[in-house]
A and B are shown apart, each in its own frame.
Chain A
């Protein structure tokens, strides 16, 4: 089945540690996205990538980093510089980055920093 997988579903880390969230898609989509979701705030864009080896900052990129070495993979690292990292993180992909393309979402990773 084609889709987007995110692992792990739940992640716990100590304050000050970097942590990497996995996102893999087998939809052959060029574009991939990372969103952060907090209660009552909707989804906010962290980073997006239109093509391999290229990515752009979204609205809340500070304290996060990404890489896009393969078309199907777009891992997100939450660094110790992120002041409030506890949140639900959603990865998405679309065929290309255009206005009309539907973004398909993964099941999400809930990160809790202790």
Chain B
């Protein structure tokens, strides 16, 4: 079955430290991949997305993600975290072009990020 896994439920970092949030996917072929961020009680905002090409993707708010086919991973990174980055982060995937389920996003369980001053 197609799935997206975020192994870390909760991560705590100090402000100014680097950040890496993990995401692994299980699909027959390489899916399209997304990272979203959600502030408490709010909707989701897209940070970045990967379809093909360059495996290092730049997003908004200084975030980047690297696609690694050999590891079925799409980890989110930020070199220096700000207190305003505290939120919940979701990795998501869809099967890509073609088929009956294209466009349907499957989400990971989410990772809550806490930032200490």
Contact = CB atoms under 8 A, between A and B. Distances in A.
Interface of A: 4, 31, 40-45, 48, 58, 90, 92, 94, 96-108, 110
B14 interface: no
A108 B107 contact: no
Given A40-B110, A43-B107, A45-B104, A99 B42 contact: no
Interface of B: 4, 9, 31-32, 34, 36, 41-46, 49, 51, 90, 92, 94-97, 102-105, 107-110
A104 to B, nearest CB: 8
A40 to B, nearest CB: 6
Contacts of B94: 99
19 contacts: A41-B109, A42-B4, A42-B108, A42-B109, A43-B44, A43-B90, A43-B107, A45-B104, A45-B105, A97-B102, A98-B97, A99-B95, A100-B32, A103-B105, A104-B46, A105-B36, A105-B43, A108-B43, A110-B41
**Interface of chain B, main secondary structure:** loop
A20 to B, nearest CB: 19
A102 B92 CA distance: 11
A84 B63 CA distance: 36
Contacts of B4: 42
A101 B103 contact: yes
A75 to B, nearest CB: 17
A90 B43 contact: yes
Contacts of A108: 41-43
A54 B109 CA distance: 29
